Amino acid sequence: MIDIKFLRENPDVVKENIKKKFQDHKLPLVDEVIELDSKNRQAKLNGDNLRAERKSLSNQIGSLMKAGKKNEAEAIKSQVQEINNKLEENEKLEATYAEEIKTRMMRIPNIMHESVPIGKDDSENVEIKKYGEPVVPDYEIPYHGEIMESIGGLDLDSARRVAGQGFYYLVGDLARLHSAVLTYARDFMINKGFTYCVPPFMIRSDVVTGVMSFEEMDAMMYKIEGEDLYLIGTSEHSMIGKFKDQILKKEDMPYTMTSYSPCFRKEKGAHGIEERGVYRIHQFEKQEMIVICEPEDSYKWYDKMWSYSVELFRSMDIPVRTLECCSGDLADLKAKSLDVEAWSPRQQKYFEVCSCSNLTDAQSRRLGIRIKGDNGNYYAHTLNNTVVAPPRMLIALIENNYNPDGSITIPEVLRPYMGGLEKIEVK
């Protein structure tokens, strides 16, 4: 959510930002907010005037009572009561205006960074750099689901009977590799100075609307029936929510955390061969990184965070590239976002494995996360980035380490987490 003062003073900038995101249907929101804001400020002024008048009359009542002029005092008391009634109506009006303003402000996208490329959708995202040489071996690499089944590591049929489409069982060495990746990623981030955390896996609705747009909420979140609770789609949700309504000490900044959680997503509209394996699923586990920092430091952290993902994947000899998300592919709360994509030798193309985002003060305004400054409190900046999200990340690992005999070579950095195992053989 952007600053209403900024919108009030720069409506054309806000409208141009909306146009660059190809969301012209939201343009009327700007004028509606300005009109409601004007009415709300007038209502507040009326309230201040009424309270001042009431205070003046109350002082008169005291003086008249001391002078023994009870009848005159009683007459003024009736005027005070009329003012109280007007104040009550005025406060209801203020509350109505405030709620209508908030509802519209929550739908207006965050101001994008000036460097964000303009484009309608993810097809217009811009490649920045490749890391590692993408290799296509001279032997066939099967579909990832087939590889996982051949090593006795994936059972989709049982999962469908138990939970339906979009779920899976990981078994044996593959399940162990899945855990090894998460544990390695955890230790990797701890060694970068991040604090490890395991958060709640359910959050209340006021946290959900604080960390994401209504559109994202509808597309992603599972609601717990009969309770004000949602299953998290990523641990970023509860990790940022941890600081809701807090005033943080300047000397404690920045907060750098890495969190583990299962993640639950509706994944509406998923279809096609890549979705029939474990690429797009309703449940997965993830190691995340989250930073809450001073506004002037957020883009420094942004560059650090995506570079950590590149470093992590390259430590497992997986070629990756970085991709700048264009305006039309940028979620409403994000000011700038970068995807890290891993090489798929089977598909001979890259696919997304990490997403790094700077949300500037959009989440902190919604959640009331402020820093105590020398000259008053101000909103913190929040950032998040995927460390690893298996089993999708396992697809990249398996394909890039698949051998002609069907075995999978385990990257050296993961072997200590696999009891020294060097290969997973075909069962």
Residue 51 is part of a domain; what is its CATH number?
1.10.287.40
What is the Cα 372 distance to its own chain's centre?
24
For residues 182 and 38, state if they share a domain: no
Residue 406 lies in a domain: yes
For residues 68 and 27, state if they share a domain: yes
| pLDDT, position 269 | 52
Residue 117 lies in a domain: no
CATH of residue 164's domain is 3.30.930.10
For residues 205 and 77, state if they share a domain: no
For residues 410 and 309, state if they share a domain: yes
Residue 190 structure tokens: 């701890």
Residue 250 lies in a domain: yes
Residue 305: name the closest of 281, 322, 329 by CA: 322
For residues 74 and 138, state if they share a domain: no
d(CA 103, CA 106): 5
d(CA 199, CA 386): 15
For residues 148 and 78, state if they share a domain: no
Residue 116 lies in a domain: no
For residues 312 and 387, state if they share a domain: yes
DSSP-derived letter for residue 329 is G
Which residue is it, tokens 């913190």? 380
d(CA 354, CA 389): 8
d(CA 325, CA 244): 28
Domain that holds residue 70: 4-105
d(CA 190, CA 184): 10
Residue 294 structure tokens: 């001073």
- Which residues have C-beta within 8 Å of that of residue 345, sequence separation ≥ 6? 134, 135, 136, 137, 141, 399, 400, 402
Decide which of 105, 138, 164 is a domain's last residue: 105
Residue 110 lies in a domain: no
What H or E segment, with its residue span, contains residue 342?
Answer: strand 336-344
Task: With H, G, I as helix, E, B as strand and everything else as coil, classify residue 141.
Answer: coil
For residues 180 and 228, state if they share a domain: yes
pTM for this model (two decimals):
0.90
The sign of the torsion formed by the CA atoms of 212, 216, 222, 223 equals positive
For residues 171 and 69, state if they share a domain: no
For residues 219 and 139, state if they share a domain: yes
Decide which of 76, 105, 134 is a domain's last residue: 105
Residue 111 lies in a domain: no
Decide which of 105, 140, 163 is a domain's last residue: 105
Q: Report the domain count for the chain.
A: 2
Characterize 317-345 residue by residue with b for buried, 16 or more Cβ atoms within 10 angstroms of its Cβ, and e for exposed. ebbbbbbbbbbbbbbbbbbbbbbbbbbbb
Q: Is 267 left (phi over 0), alpha (psi -120 to 50) or beta?
A: left
- Taking CA 16 as the corner, what is the angle to CA 14 and CA 21, rounded to the nearest 5 degrees? 100
- Taking residue 103's Cβ as centre, other Cβ atoms within 10 Å add up to 14
| pLDDT, position 214 | 78
Residue 148 lies in a domain: yes
Residue 67 lies in a domain: yes
Q: Cβ(99)–Cβ(43) under 8 Å?
A: no
For residues 227 and 297, state if they share a domain: yes
| pLDDT, position 268 | 58
Q: Where are the alpha helices (DSSP H) in 201-344?
A: 205-211, 214-220, 235-241, 298-314
For residues 93 and 63, state if they share a domain: yes
Per-residue pLDDT of the chain (427 residues; tens, 9 = 90+): 899 999 999 999 999 999 999 999 999 999 999 999 999 999 999 999 999 988 888 888 878 877 778 778 878 888 888 899 999 999 999 999 999 999 999 999 999 999 999 999 999 999 999 999 999 999 999 999 999 999 999 999 999 999 988 899 999 999 999 999 999 999 999 999 999 999 999 999 999 999 988 778 888 899 999 999 999 999 999 999 999 999 999 999 999 999 999 999 987 555 444 456 888 889 999 999 999 999 999 999 999 999 999 999 999 999 999 999 999 999 999 999 999 999 999 999 999 999 999 999 999 999 999 999 988 999 999 999 999 998 889 999 999 999 999 999 999 999 999 999 999 999 8
Q: Cβ(5)–Cβ(33) under 8 Å?
A: no
